[in-house]
Amino acid sequence: MSLTDPVADFVTRIRNSIRARHQKLDVPASKLKTEIARILKEEGYIANYKAAEENGRAVLRVYLKYGANNEAAIRDLSRISRPGCRVYVGRDEIKRVQSGLGISIMTTPRGVMTGRQARREGVGGEILCEVW
């Protein structure tokens, strides 16, 4: 089975796991997914993540985060740029997500970062997904 959009698969697996109230999920590992997980952890949307190996394959294990009354830290995730329709923005076009309550994750020439960091550093790039 080949995936045409591994980031969309990753985002969908997180969304489905949260709705099913899972504590953790495993996805096939890649550098980009690891960077997305790093940003989600830094911004407080997931509890943790780690690279593991199962049956000789590299997997990324993501530990989901829930609040006091089993409220998920991630309310929703959406894929913005897709293989069929890439979405690029300049440094002045980076929008705030949910009036600043959410984050956008983007790839820039300086690596994967949030929209806020990209605005601060004055770089544009491809918007991968939005989280709130």
Asked if residue 1 belongs to a domain, the reply is: no
Selection from 22, 2, 8 nearest residue 105 by Cα: 8
Q: Tell me, what's the pLDDT at 2?
A: 60
What pLDDT score does 101 carry? 94
Structural domain that includes position 50: 6-131
pLDDT attached to residue 3: 77
**3-state SS, residue 86:** coil
Helix boundaries (H) for the chain: 6-19, 31-42, 115-121
Q: Over 20-64, what HEC string results?
A: CCCCEEEEECCHHHHHHHHHHHHCCCEEEEEEEEECCEEEEEEEE
Specify the pairing of strand 125-131 against strand 103-108.
antiparallel
* β-bridge partners, 119: none
- 66 occurs within a structural domain: yes
Asked if residue 50 belongs to a domain, the reply is yes
Average pLDDT for runs of 10 along the chain of length 132? 86 97 97 98 97 95 94 95 97 94 97 98 98 96
70 neighbors 57 (Cβ within 8 angstroms): no
Q: Which amino acid is at 109?
A: P
Residue 88 lies in a domain: yes
Task: Say how many domains are in the chain.
Answer: 1
**Tokens 């959410």 -> residue:** 102
- Examine residue 57 and state whether it is found in any structural domain, yes or no: yes
What CATH number should be reported for the domain holding residue 37?
Answer: 3.30.1370.30
